[in-house]
Amino acid sequence: MEIYLDNSATTRCYREVGELVMQVMCSDYGNPSSMHLKGVEAERYIKEAKEQIAKVLKVTPKELIFTSGGTECDNLALIGAARANRRNGNHLITTSIEHPAILNTMQFLEEEEGFRVTYLPVDENGCASLEALKEALCPETILVSMMYVNNEIGAVQPIQEAVSLVKNYNRRILFHCDAVQGFGKYRIYPKRIGVDMLSVSGHKIHGPKGVGFLYMREGIKVRPIAYGGGQQKNMRSGTENVPGIAGIGLATQMIYTDLEQKTEKMRQLKARLVEGVSGIERCRVHGRTDENSAPHIVSIGFAGVRSEVLLHALEEQEIYVSSGSACASNHPAISGVLKGIGVPREYLESTLRFSMSEFTTEEEIDRTVEALCKMVPMLRRYTRR
């Protein structure tokens, strides 16, 4: 029995999405820039996907830019906004536990383009300090970026409060939100919460890999970071990934159908997993696990067992999990997120991330708990002291 608990790394495509992608790849394969019928057909898929996504977000279709995924969305938002608004200031703000797509882009802007970046601290649950944000704001601030849900521990950031604080200080400061882990788990309305830009990735919501979209509020200044044929109103040149765009449009529509029932099921499974491992000695759940945390992510440390050893032991039982963020690379490293929330040293190299989806079952959770209860004590006996 295969048990897949690494849905924060990627999800299984909805069957309907896979069928649609195949249809567009093999039958309706025209270039949307072509003027003939095949091109018009392809353009129709892009228009339909924009309408599907815009309806869910309650935005206008023209405020959506399709990209290759969350990383490109973040790069376009940060680099494009920073360069376009530099005359107003050179100060950027983010949190210390963002995804590498944000942190490494901020580092690039800091080291290569001369911007000043403030990295906000977080508390033991991974929530950014609003007081630190208030203190960091200054006349030179032009952009704030804060993720909706942390990809490693499931911390939910106070986005609406942060946006309100920033906009009350200066309405011209742009606010970007990396919603890659939050989209499809929460109903997110950018205009209601006041964010100017929002990043989403297709393969986190049972859509295809290699496609994402960036919501950009109409009227904001952002420079493109890729130049070419002028597609997508010159904001992101290059032939559009029509199969992927069609797929992410349908996946968005499908994941938001009966969303509350799906997320409640995941919350129950999360509670079942947390309760199941509570009997294992020297086991620690990082961050919150209540209603104020993401419904699908659990980060658990097992002191005395290296994370990659336990990961591969579970893999032998066809149970697939992550030793942290699988979005960066497959080379294990000590998590900056865990260090950022003050996790004791004995758990820093002994933590696994379990992440669920609407397809996860109680039986899968129970079998995972059973495997952990057997493996952890056994592996500890063989660990060098």
**Catalytic residue check, 327:** yes
Identified catalytic residue from 13, 177, 283, 327: 327
Among 162, 156, 157, which Cα is nearest to 144's? 162
Residue at token pair 């493109």: 224
Distance CA 147, CA 180 (A): 8
Residue at token pair 């696990």: 289
Find the length of the chain. Answer: 385
Note the maximum CA span of the chain.
70
Distance CA 138, CA 91 (A): 8
238-255 b/e with 16+ CB inside 10 Å = b? eebbbbbbbbbbbbbbbb
Residue at token pair 């799906």: 262
Distance CA 102, CA 116 (A): 14
Per-position DSSP letters for 278-319, written without gaps between them: TTSTTEEEES--STTB-SSEEEEEETTS-HHHHHHHHHHTTE
What Å distances lie between residue 136 and 112, 166, 336, CA to CA?
22, 10, 21
Structure tokens at 52: 């599907």
- Catalytically active residues, by annotation: 327
